[in-house]
Amino acid sequence: MTEHETGPAPERDRTQQETGGSGAGRTAARQDDGAQVSTGKEKAGVPEAAIPELVIISGMSGAGRSTAAKCLEDLGWFVVDNLPPALIPTMVELGARSQGNVARIAVVVDVRGRRFFDNLRESLADLDARGVTRRTVFLESSDDALVRRFESVRRPHPLQGDGRIVDGIAAERELLRELRGDADLVIDTSSLNVHELRAKMDAQFAGEEEPELRATVMSFGFKYGLPVDADLVVDMRFLPNPHWVPELRPYTGLNEEVASYVLSQPGAKEFLDQYAEMLRLVAAGYRREGKRYVTIAVGCTGGKHRSVAMSEKLAARLAAEGVETVVVHRDMGRE
């Protein structure tokens, strides 16, 4: 749940509302570093509606910035990690020029970019003056929790230098004090696990729609080995093999006659109905636990007939339930 995905998190959430500058009518201006940001209002070809929504993710090292960023990425945000603050206006400008293709941008800012951190206040003020909608999320955690997380992965704090982990934590707190005070959302991850942090991010940024689950249904042959990335595996070898039917042997499970043969066997339709129902329950649980991707592996001997036919049927059932589904036939054609 942390940058190292190590451990638990928040005790409390605190949301602070902050009003930005109202200079939305100003034309494009340049900062000292030359980065140009447009309101999109007066500039031809960049309508005001095209200005991306912006979220700044920052906070203590080990408090869960990576998890928070990954959550936004799963929700469809364009995420940039460790971007120098001075380049944030440039990123927003590029998003505005994307003609709506990049509508939401999340930028992770942390002490790894401490050489540029002093530019953050100026960049954010400049964006506020141009009417860019932005929010700052700050990930907080107690010293004890952070020390445990760093010790569990045997890595030093990025600011501890020759000192101890607690010295690095203290230096980072001081560096981030002002940003924490200005944050729109502060999440204390001291007692939260990964799933609980994702749930909090979903509650803030997913809107009313339930977070989307994406499924890959993969047929495979057991004789070629199990898929290493499978979350769920089912075995179709309880059904008769079309390989032993001479007129069906040359074809695959994509062939209508082969698929009809497979589905007409005793237990095939019952399996399809009951497994599809089980997947409905599993999908709901995955959403609650913050899991956004699932790979369902369907196997038979060679990955040519039974697994292919059943994968296609299962994928159709999932798609009918509103799950974004991709079908992959890993071993079809290997014989």
Tell which phi-psi region holds residue 200, choosing left (phi > 0), alpha (psi between -120 and 50) or beta.
Answer: alpha
Q: Cα(242)–Cα(299) distance, rounded to whole angstroms?
A: 14
Write b or e for each residue in 189-225: b if 16 or more Cβ atoms lie within 10 A of its Cβ, otherwise e. bbebbbebbbbbbbebbbeeeebebebbbbbbbbeee
- Which tokens go with 24? 């939305």
Binding-site residues, in ranges, read 59-66, 110-113
CA nearest to 123, candidates 144, 139, 107: 107
Collect all residues with Cβ–Cβ distance below 8 Å to 133 and sequence separation of at least 6. 51, 53, 54
Binding-site residues for ATP, in ranges, read 59-66
DSSP result, 78-105: EEEES--GGGHHHHHHHHHTTTTS--EE
The Cβ-side half-sphere exposure at 210, using a 13 Å CA radius, reads 13
Tell the residue number behind the tokens 């000292």, with chain if given. Answer: 32
Rg (CA), the chain: 25
Q: Cα(57)–Cα(68) distance, rounded to whole angstroms?
A: 8
CA nearest to 56, candidates 209, 202, 188, 180: 180
Q: Residue 324 belongs to what H/E stretch?
A: strand 324-329
Binding-site residues for GTP, in ranges, read 110-113
| Strand 36-37, strand 29-30: pairing | antiparallel
Neighbours of 178 (CB within 10 A): 11
Cβ(138)–Cβ(18) below 8 Å: no
